[in-house]
Amino acid sequence: MRAPFRNTERAYGLVSQGFHWLIVVLIIVQFIWAWRIDEIDGLRDRLELVTQHKTIGMTILFLALLRLFWRLFNRPPPLPAHMSRWEQNAAHAGHWLLYGLIIAIPLSGWAYSSAAGYGDYWWGPIDFPSIVAKGEELEELFESTHEWLTDTLAIVAIGHALAALHHHFWRKDDVLKRMLPIWRKE
């Protein structure tokens, strides 16, 4: 596979961009679903939203793992030379923190569901085994862990987006553009 699918020195390839934006959209949906779950009254409607939330969460986990695998063979474009060492280190740390959170959150949700005695499944036909024993203490632990990780993701993702906007509007470099499918500069 060659450009435009693979990353180049100047931009992310369409595969990396596709993973990035699909995961972003699904995470936003997850935040909306979690809010709706807390707001909805009917048990049946609540169960349906929880089911969708779990399914989307497992999809995000699967996509994040695929994205990491893809990244092993498709190095990201280098950061701009004008960035200081601390900015480059912060950018790398931020990216790896995002990867870690995007993987840890579905795993913590899966553990929370397992501890509560409910299985996880993916679009109905695929059931995932419990990954922790059923128990009230574990359920409370993983519920709070899941919520804490989610809150942390929101903060880090907002920081990530603000950094990209900073590069685009203040630094006037191509950091944001290289993740946009409509912009390919070879």
Domain that holds residue 93: 14-179
The CATH code of the domain that includes 129 is 1.20.950.20
Split at pLDDT 50, 70, 90, the class of 2 is: low
Tens digits of residue pLDDT in 107-154: 999 999 999 998 776 776 778 888 999 999 999 999 999 999 999 999
User: In this structure, is residue 184 part of a structural domain?
Assistant: no
| % of residues, the chain, pLDDT over 70 | 95
Q: Looking at the domain assignment, is residue 3 inside a domain? A: no
Give domain status of residue 162, yes or no: yes
Token output for 171:
């630094």
Within a domain: residue 135? Answer: yes
Torsion of Cα atoms, 33 then 58 then 160 then 154, to 10°? 40
Among 7, 179, 135, smallest CA distance to 76 is for 7
**Amino acid identity, position 85:** R
91 phi-psi bin (left φ>0, alpha ψ -120 to 50, beta other): alpha
- Whole-model pTM: value is 0.90
Q: Structural domain tally of the chain?
A: 1
Please report how the helices 136-166 and 85-115 are oriented relative to each other, as an axis angle in degrees rounded to 10: 150
d(CA 51, CA 184): 38
pLDDT digits (tens, 9 = 90+) for 20-68: 999 999 999 999 999 999 899 899 998 889 989 999 999 999 999 999 9
In a domain, 2, yes or no: no
Asked whether residue 1 is domain-assigned, the answer is no
- Note the pLDDT of residue 184: 56
Q: What is the DSSP code string of 81-121?
A: TTS-HHHHHHHHHHHHHHHHHHHHHHHHHHHHHHHTT--EE
Task: Flag whether 186 is in a domain.
Answer: no
Give 120's strand partners. 128
Residue 102 lies in a domain: yes
CB-side neighbour CA atoms (13 Å) of 8: 15
